[in-house]
Every structure is written in structure tokens, then in C-alpha cells.
Amino acid sequence: MIPEFYFPFESGTNPYLTEIQEGSLLWMRKIGFDVNNSCAYDRSRVESHAILVAYALPQLPLRDLQIAADAMTWFFIHDDYMDAVFHGSPGELQDLHSRLLDACNISCVSEPAGSLTRGLHDICRRIYARSGLAWLQCFTCHVNEYLQSIQWEYELRRRDEMPDFAAYMLLRPVVGTIYMVFSLAAMLNDVPADAESLRHLYIRKLTDLAGLQMTFYNDVWSFERDLAEGNPSNLISILQNENNLDLQAAVNLAVAMTNNQVTAFVRLKEVLPCFGPEEDDLAKRYVIALENFMSGQRNWMIRTSRFHIV
């Protein structure tokens, strides 16, 4: 039995929900996922990866929402590829990561080979066209950190080892693409990449709290699926292992930890300093974006078939 989650935010739903789902399926065909990875295409269609952003970015116009939807689709495809498809050597993983980082370089004349690299290159090209070099560099930095965290998870799987709780707290949100997602949210809400408020300690910690909340919520919701797939990087499994808890006690603790992130978020938000009129508006936009993503993830996860065990 799962205790009640604390959700004081409600994001709403973007009116372009149907359009972005259809648009992302067209994008996947353009990139070649339907030919080179038909399973990824079919899974994205059934699990509605793209429409997560319709719940998390309710106010965006269609063009901006489609960038986010295609990026979210890519995140899920890459995650599934690493979980179920890639079984290569450390050298092969390093080569893949080099190609993905190269794909972030939009000055590359030739189109990258392979659907994963081609898809990421297209997303980066659109980020640059929409918001310029500073945001592309910020996004690329988060891609690099994401790939480093994938390396951490890959090594754990090679050793058939469960992560310890301390490492999980630091790296699991990065593996979950949280910081790439939040950088897109800031960009598409027209917060400049060099905004002073984004660099303030309180805003950075609000970002961390939102990231942990989303990570914990995901792990509680997906526990049965992770268990069935033999994935040990799940909060409930780690709490059971480190604290010698039975399943219900671990679930209770995981939900309490999830709710604690929200409580801390709300309290820290209440003591944000004044940045000045313009920066206050940017900070408010970004904080609302974080709240919308916490709420939007919840609204999507209760509707998608991704975490249903059949």
C-alpha cells in the first residue's frame, strides 16, 4: 500500500497535447527511429512519452512545446536503449558517448549517423535556433553530466551491484535527465542562461529539491517494473538493503522522503530574496516551471502505460 503523496501544485494541461504527440511520432520517423528502432517507436507511441511536457509546460505555444516533446521523447528512447538494448564493452560505451557529445556540435557539416545521435543533433540545432549559443552550451553541459552519470550506472550493472544511498542521492537525478529537463524549461520560459537568479544558492537548491522529488516519486511509482526488470537503482530497494526494512516500511519511508522534498521546497521558496523587479520576474517564472514539472510528472505517470506490469 502506497501512502498519500503531498502535491500542493497543479500544473494544468497544455491545449496542444494531441498535436505534440502526433508531431513527435512524425519527428521519430524523420530521424529514423521507426526503421532503425521500431521497438522504440512503438513504445513511445503507446506510452505517450511526448505528452509528459503537455502536463509540465501548460502555457507554452506549440512550436516551443514541440521542442520539449521531441527532447523528452529522445530522453526516454536513450534511457530504454541503455536499460534493455546496449550490452557493449566500456570502450563501446565511451565511443557512443563521444558520438553523442559530437552531436551537440551544431557546426558539424555532415549529419550524424544513427538515430540516437541524429535525434540529439536535431534537438541541439533547434535549441540554438530558438535561444542561441548560451543555452545550447548550458544544455550540452547537462548532456555531458548525464552521460557521466550513465557511466556510473553502467559500471554498477557490470558489477551487479546496488548503489549505496549516498551515491544515489547525488547521481540518480542526473541519470534521470532532471537537469537537462529543467534547463529546457528555463529556456522555453525565456529565462536567460546568464540570469543572476539562476545562479543564486536558493534557486539552485530549489532545483535540487524538485529534482529529488521527481526522482523519488518516479522510483516509488516504477518500483514493480524495476523489480521485474532486475534494475537495482530504485529508492525502495536501496532503503530496504541499507536499513534492513521490509517492503512496506521501505515504501512508507520513500513516500515520506518524497513529501519532505516538497515541504522543503515550499519553505525555501517562501524565503527567496529580492533580486530586483526584472530578476524577480525571471526567478518566479523558473520556480513555477519547477512546480509545474513536479505536478506534470505526477499527472503523466498516472495516465501512461509505461509503468504497468502485464
Beta strand ranges found along 169-247 (DSSP E): none
9 part of a folded domain: no
Cα end-to-end span (Å), the chain? 19
pLDDT in tens, 263-309: 999 999 999 999 999 999 999 999 999 999 999 999 999 999 887 75
Segment 90-111, tens digit of pLDDT: 999 999 999 999 999 998 767 7
> What pLDDT, on a 0 to 100 scale, did the predictor assign at position 310?
45
pLDDT at 3: 94
Number of domains in the chain: 1
Task: Write out the three cell numbers for 231.
Answer: 534494475
**How far is the C-alpha of 245 from the C-alpha of 256, rounded, in Å?**
15
Determine, yes or no, domain membership for 181: yes
Structural domain includes residue 3: no
pLDDT of residue 5: 96
Domain membership of residue 309 (yes or no) is no
| pLDDT at 151 exceeding the cut of 70 | yes
How far are the Cα atoms of 164, 223, 233 from residue 167, in angstroms, in the given order?
6, 19, 10
Inside any domain, residue 102: yes
With respect to residue 310, please indicate whether it lies within any of the assigned structural domains: no
Q: Which of 110-114, 152-156, 257-261 has the lowest mean pLDDT?
A: 110-114
In angstroms, the CA 222 to CA 202 distance is: 30
Predicted TM-score (pTM) above 0.75: yes
Query: pLDDT tens for residues 228-249?
Result: 888 888 999 999 999 999 999 9
Question: Would you say residue 97 lies in a domain?
Answer: yes
Is 5 contained in some domain? no
Task: Note whether 188 and 64 are within 8 A (CB).
Answer: yes
Other Cβ atoms within 10 Å of 12 Cβ, number: 15
Structural domain of 205 = 17-301
Q: pLDDT tens digits, residue range 17-45?
A: 999 999 999 999 999 987 666 788 888 98
CATH number of the domain at 57, please.
1.10.600.10
Q: Which residue has the higher pLDDT, 244 or 85?
A: 244
Longest pairwise C-alpha distance within the chain: 56
Q: C-alpha grid cell for residue 301?
A: 505517470
